């Protein structure tokens, strides 16, 4: 710290001495060569006030310290022989910017005399000479003939006394002369003049003594009152005679010498020790208390959870029995992630089969049966696979356990379980139950208005868009293609929207590394809803986009099924599946290939749709989605946005219809 203070004070001293002795500051005077013939060569009092009295010493004028008054000027006028003669010299006293820079002007509105040239310059006595070789002396008072006015002011004489250095041939007057050293500090001259005093000083660690002049009484007062007990600098002043600072011998105070025993560190005071230690002890005690409280709260919660779990396991009722924890745990470790779409499943998977009561069979399919069950008073749907379809159960379990799969328009998944019933192994998939059943069942018994119809297909498209979309992140969601879109795999919720189910044939794709997961299930989708590229076997399974195009084609058939049940003009068609009039109830692969690929047929669009603005727009969407060329089909996101627009239009038409009814009443 002492060395730091020492350096700062040393730099301060150098700056002070340099400012005093070598470099003019903003308060210094400027001296100019003077000659005046007022009655002929100035026009108005704004340039030279009549009350202005110049400060003259031997034809030398001392200028003011204002910003506009520091420059010198010389004015020439042509005589009868055409030669330029000096008419006016001195300090520029007008408060304007005419003479702020070095320049020459042929005429100026500041003077009444025409054909007058004047030049401005800055610096002491800069107007005394216009450049030795270019000027011819023709008058004792300073008249000159200028052959090259542009060189005026380019050569300045050394600065006049005040804070400035002296030069040969300049009148010194009654000023105090001081010795100045070193020469580079003094502008190459070993003396300076001042009106206040001389000084000698030693700064920082240098052994060189500097000599010079103080600039003013204020500087003399400041410099000479500095304390003389410093170890870094020393300054002495005088003003009793010329060159009096040669007799000054300033000396810095020596640094004190400390003995070894004096440098021993004193012990820390008790107060300081307490200030440091007590807060640390308090923080440690507080952290310990918080840890103890959190431990006991966690222990209490775990005890309550264990009690509730035992109570659930002890409940009576008809329950399927679990095969074994080891087999189920190994299966889950091989096929499942750490949770369903939004984290852990709603039910604990290892014990869920014991807590579900099967009520009635509500459907059968190629993979097994669907039962309605009850879990603690809540209805659930249980999809039961036989042991022969373990690959389908395993694949669907894996898909439903995909992170971030949870969506309002994806069938809610609870858990998967492996149980034994009637000496037979069963594979359970437990999901949310919906009273309305599938879209296939719902359309057979319900006719729809525009808003209901669009709400069903728009919500189904939203679920399919969520499947097709990949979510990038540390635990993101891969893009998923359904591969078995049909009205039987779409469920109708109680609020009139749809959700997609039956993901056993789904394909997953991850953009990072371009990984495509087809699963181990070799079964294909429903033949009635197969796209042309599947029927003619031209689909490229290496590209995930090919599977998304297949979903778009099948979704167009679902939209056609739903739109047929929409009432327009009091008319509505009865429910029919796609291609009901050209293929049998259970068509073969060859039947569908002939109709879709060879004949390129599509389901017929009713003529009444043309007169309905909403169904007419929907028919265009259907045609683009079941196009023969997969690349020409619309992406599902575009379909969803179009259906959203149509839904808004249907809602607006419904409001207008209600307003008309109210008006008619």
Q: Which of 203, 389, 484, 551 is catalytic?
A: 484
| Per-residue model confidence (pLDDT) at position 354 | 74
Q: Which of 124, 122, 123, 119 is nearest to 134 (CA)?
A: 119
Residue 54 has pLDDT above 80, yes or no: no
Kind and range of the H or E run holding 569: none
484 is catalytic: yes
Residue 251 has pLDDT above 70, yes or no: yes
Q: Phi and psi for 9 in degrees, rounded to 5?
A: -65, -35
Please check whether residue 173 lies inside any domain of the structure: yes
Residue 480 has pLDDT above 60, yes or no: yes
Please check whether residue 263 lies inside any domain of the structure: no
CB 420 within 8 A of CB 426: yes
CA end-to-end distance (rounded Å), the chain: 96
Please check whether residue 404 lies inside any domain of the structure: yes
Provide the 3-class DSSP secondary structure of residue 549: helix
| Per-residue model confidence (pLDDT) at position 487 | 94
Domain boundary among 432, 449, 480: 432
Residue 96 has pLDDT above 70, yes or no: no
Residues 94 and 129 in one domain: yes
| Per-residue model confidence (pLDDT) at position 469 | 93
Cα distances (angstroms) measured from residue 425 to each of 213, 313, 358, 380, 485 = 112, 21, 16, 20, 29
Residues 462 and 360 in one domain: no
Residue range 174-198, pLDDT digits in tens: 678 888 887 777 767 788 888 788 8
Residue 4 has pLDDT above 50, yes or no: no
Residues 443 and 515 in one domain: yes
Residues 199 and 132 in one domain: no
Residues 113 and 178 in one domain: no
CB 443 within 8 A of CB 561: yes
Residues 504 and 594 in one domain: yes
- How many folded domains does the chain comprise? 4
Residue range 569-599, pLDDT digits in tens: 888 999 999 999 999 988 999 999 999 999 9
Residues 484 and 420 in one domain: no
Please check whether residue 362 lies inside any domain of the structure: yes
- C-alpha to C-alpha distance for 533 and 166, rounded to whole angstroms: 105
| Per-residue model confidence (pLDDT) at position 464 | 95
Say how many C-beta atoms besides its own lie within 10 A of residue 437's C-beta: 17
Residue range 144-176, pLDDT digits in tens: 333 333 344 433 333 333 333 333 323 344 678
CATH of the domain at 355: 3.30.200.20
Please check whether residue 285 lies inside any domain of the structure: no
| Per-residue model confidence (pLDDT) at position 110 | 54
Q: Could you give the percent of the chain with pLDDT greater than 90?
A: 31
Lowest mean pLDDT among 119-133, 317-331, 459-473: 317-331
| Per-residue model confidence (pLDDT) at position 19 | 45
pLDDT band at 513 (very low <50, low <70, confident <90, very high): confident
Residues 113 and 145 in one domain: yes
383 annotated to bind ligand = yes
The mean of the pLDDT values for the chain is: 75
The residue with tokens 């070993």 is: 190
Cβ-based neighbours of 35, under 8 Å, separated by 6 or more: 59, 86, 88, 89, 90, 141, 142
Task: Return the higher-pLDDT residue of 59 and 20.
Answer: 59
pLDDT (mean) for 370-387: 87
Domain boundary among 151, 175, 192: 151
Residue 41 has pLDDT above 50, yes or no: no
Please check whether residue 280 lies inside any domain of the structure: no
CB 426 within 8 A of CB 416: no
Residues 173 and 135 in one domain: no
625: its two tokens = 């989605």
398: its two tokens = 């894996």
Residues 12 and 43 in one domain: no
CATH of the domain at 230: 2.10.60.10
pLDDT (mean) for 442-471: 94
CB 139 within 8 A of CB 86: yes
CATH of the domain at 595: 1.10.510.10
Residue 9 has pLDDT above 60, yes or no: no
Please check whether residue 257 lies inside any domain of the structure: no
Kind and range of the H or E run holding 142: none
Domain boundary among 214, 247, 280: 247
pLDDT band at 66 (very low <50, low <70, confident <90, very high): low
Residues 398 and 455 in one domain: no
Buried b (16+ CB within 10 A) or exposed e, 511-538: eeeeebeebebeeebbbbbbbbbbbeee
Please check whether residue 54 lies inside any domain of the structure: yes
Domain that holds residue 419: 321-432
pLDDT (mean) for 299-319: 63
CB 529 within 8 A of CB 554: yes
Residues 447 and 486 in one domain: yes
| Per-residue model confidence (pLDDT) at position 530 | 94
Provide the 3-class DSSP secondary structure of residue 61: strand
């Amino acid at each position: 710290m002492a060395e730091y203070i020492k350096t700062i004070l040393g730099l301060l001293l150098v700056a002070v001495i340099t400012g005093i002795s070598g470099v003019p500051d903003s308060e210094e005077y400027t001296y100019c060569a003077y000659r005046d013939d007022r009655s002929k060569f100035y026009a108005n009092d704004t340039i030279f006030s009549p009350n202005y009295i110049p400060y003259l010493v031997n034809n030398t004028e001392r200028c003011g310290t204002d910003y506009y008054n520091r420059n010198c000027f010389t004015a020439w006028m042509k005589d009868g022989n055409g030669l330029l003669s000096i008419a006016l010299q001195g300090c520029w006293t007008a408060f304007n910017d005419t003479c702020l820079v070095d320049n020459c002007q042929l005429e100026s509105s500041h003077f009444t005399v025409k054909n007058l040239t004047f030049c401005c310059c800055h610096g002491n006595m800069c107007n005394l000479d216009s450049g030795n070789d270019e000027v011819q002396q023709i008058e004792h008072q300073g008249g000159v003939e200028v052959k090259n006015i542009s060189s005026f002011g380019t050569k300045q004489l050394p600065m006049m006394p005040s804070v400035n250095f002296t030069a040969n041939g300049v009148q010194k007057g009654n000023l105090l002369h001081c010795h100045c050293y070193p020469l580079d500090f003094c502008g190459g001259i070993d003396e300076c003049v001042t009106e206040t005093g001389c000084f000698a000083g030693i700064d920082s660690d240098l052994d060189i003594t500097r000599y010079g002049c103080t600039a003013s009484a204020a500087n003399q007062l400041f410099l000479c009152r500095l304390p003389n007990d410093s170890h870094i600098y020393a300054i002495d002043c005088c003003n009793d005679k010329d060159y009096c600072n040669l007799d000054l011998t300033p000396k810095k105070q020596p640094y004190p010498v400390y003995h070894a025993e004096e440098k021993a560190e004193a012990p820390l005071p008790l107060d300081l020790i307490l200030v440091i230690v007590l807060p640390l002890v308090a923080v440690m005690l507080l952290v310990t208390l918080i840890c103890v409280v959190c431990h006991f709260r966690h222990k209490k919660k775990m005890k309550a959870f264990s009690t509730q779990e035992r109570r659930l396991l002890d409940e009576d009722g008809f329950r399927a029995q679990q095969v074994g924890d080891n087999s189920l745990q190994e299966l889950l470790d091989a096929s499942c992630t750490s949770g369903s779409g939004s984290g852990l499943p709603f039910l604990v998977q290892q014990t869920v089969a014991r807590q579900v009561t099967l009520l009635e069979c509500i459907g059968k399919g190629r993979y097994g049966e669907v039962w309605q069950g009850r879990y603690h008073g809540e209805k659930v749907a249980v999809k039961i696979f036989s042991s022969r379809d373990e690959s389908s159960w395993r694949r669907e379990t894996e898909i439903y356990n995909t992170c971030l799969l949870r969506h309002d328009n994806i069938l809610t998944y609870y858990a998967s379980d492996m149980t034994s019933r009637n000496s037979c192994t069963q594979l359970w998939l437990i999901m949310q139950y919906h009273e309305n059943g599938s879209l296939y069942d719902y359309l057979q018994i319900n006719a729809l208005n525009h808003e209901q119809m669009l709400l069903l297909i728009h919500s189904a498209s939203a679920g399919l868009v969520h499947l097709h979309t990949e979510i990038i992140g540390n635990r993101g969601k891969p893009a998923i293609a359904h591969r078995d879109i049909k009205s039987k795999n779409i469920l109708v919720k109680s609020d009139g929207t749809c959700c997609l189910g039956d993901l056993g044939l789904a394909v997953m794709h991850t953009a990072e590394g371009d990984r495509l997961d087809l699963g181990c299930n070799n079964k294909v989708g429903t033949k009635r809803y197969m796209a042309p590229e599947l029927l003619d076997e031209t689909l490229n399974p290496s590209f995930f986009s090919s599977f998304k195009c297949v979903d778009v084609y099948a979704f167009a058939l679902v939209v056609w099924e739903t739109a047929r049940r929409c009432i327009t003009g009091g008319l509505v068609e009865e429910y029919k599946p796609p291609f009901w009039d050209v293929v049998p109830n259970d068509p073969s692969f060859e039947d569908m290939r002939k109709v879709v690929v060879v004949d390129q047929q599509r389901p017929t669009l009713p003529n009444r749709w043309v007169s309905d603005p909403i169904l007419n727009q929907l028919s265009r969407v259907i045609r683009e989605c079941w196009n023969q060329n997969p690349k020409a089909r619309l992406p599902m996101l575009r379909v969803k946005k179009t259906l959203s627009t149509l839904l808004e239009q249907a809602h607006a038409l419904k409001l207008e219809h209600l307003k008309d009814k109210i008006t008619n009443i």
